[in-house]
Chains A and B, each alone.
Chain A
Amino acid sequence: MAINRDYLGRVYELPEPYEVTRVKIREFADAISDPNPLYRDPARAKEAGYADVIAPPTFPIILGMEGAGQAIADPELGLDFSRVVHGDQRFRYSRPLQAGDLVTCRTTITDIKALGGNELLTLDSEIATTAGEHVVTSVNMLVVRGTAPAEK
C-alpha cells in the first residue's frame, strides 16, 4: 500500500511537553552502553559547565519517535511499520538536552517520494524548550520497503 500523498506538510505536536529526566538519560546511556560520566553524574556535568546531566547526541530521537509514532499510528497515512527501516538521520544542535528541560516537539512531514520500489518519508522535528529556546532539530528519513505504486 502506498503512503497517502495528502499527508505532505502535516504537522504533529506532542500532546504535552516532554520532561527530560536524569533517570531517562541514564536509562538511554545504559542502553547504548556508553559510560560517559556527563550522562550520569550531576557534579561532573556541573564541572563541565552544564546545569545538570546532559543527554547523548542521539537521545532526541525519543522525541522524534513520538512525532513519527503519531504519524505511523495514523491509519489514513497508510504506513506499514514492519516495512519501515531508517534511511537517514541528521541532528543540528543548539545545545545538548539536559535533565530538567521541559521541551516541545513539532514534527512535520516534509517529503514523501518513491524510489526504486520503496517509498521515502521525511520527518523534520523541531525540539525547543517551553520558553521557546531551540535545542535541536532532527531530520529523519524513513524507507518503507516495497510499497511504491507500480510505475507505468
Chain B
Amino acid sequence: MTTVRYADVEVGTELPEQTYPVRRADLVRYAGASGDFNPIHWSDRVAREVGLPGVIAHGMFTMAQAGRLITDWVGDPGAVVEYGVRFSAPVVVPDDEQGTEIVVGGTVTKKLDDNQVVVAITARSAGAKVLARSTAVVRLA
C-alpha cells in the first residue's frame, strides 16, 4: 500500500535526492535482463564508430533508476499511473571500477484529482542533465 498521503503533500514537496552507481557490469547485466544488446552499451569500439564518447548506459537503465526514486517514495510501485522521460544526454560509463553515478531528484509540481500528483524528475551524471521533461503521475493514499 502507498504510505504517502495526498493530504500531506504540497506543490513543492521534494523527494529525497538519491545517487545510484553505474558500472560496465551493470550494463552487461541490464542488457541480458532487458534483451537490449545494442553494442553501444558494451563496446567502446562501436560506440566511438558512431560518434559517441564511449560506452553509454541504456536509457532504460537510467529511467529505471529514476523510477526507483518514485517507487521508493510512494512505497507501492503499482501507485505509478504514468511515467515518461526524455533522454537529453548520454550517461557515459567508463571501463573502470568506479564507473559513474546518476543523481536523481524529484519535486511535486501539481496536485490532480483522485489523489494523484505529478512529480517532476531530474537526473544528472558527470554534471550533465541526462533526463529532461521527465514526470511521473502517482496515486497517493
Chain A interface residues toward B at CB < 8 A = 27-28, 30-34, 36, 38-39, 48-50, 54, 56-58, 61-62, 65-66, 69, 81-93, 95-96, 139, 145-146
Is A27's CB under 8 angstroms from B63's CB? no
What number of A-B contacts does a CB cutoff of 8 Å give? 114
- Shortest B37–chain A CB gap in Å is 9
- Shortest B35–chain A CB gap in Å is 5
CA distance A89 to B40 in the complex (A): 19
Is B26's CB under 8 angstroms from A88's CB? no
Q: How large is the interface on B (under 10, 10 to 19, 20 to 34, 35 or more residues)?
A: 35 or more
Q: Which of B70-102 contact A (CB under 8 A)?
A: 70-72, 76-78, 80-87, 90
- Shortest A138–chain B CB gap in Å is 10
Among B45-53, B103-111, B121-129, which stretch is in contact with chain A? Answer: B45-53
Chain B interface residues toward A at CB < 8 A = 1, 20, 26, 29-30, 32-36, 38-40, 46, 49-51, 56, 58-61, 63-65, 67-68, 70-72, 76-78, 80-87, 90
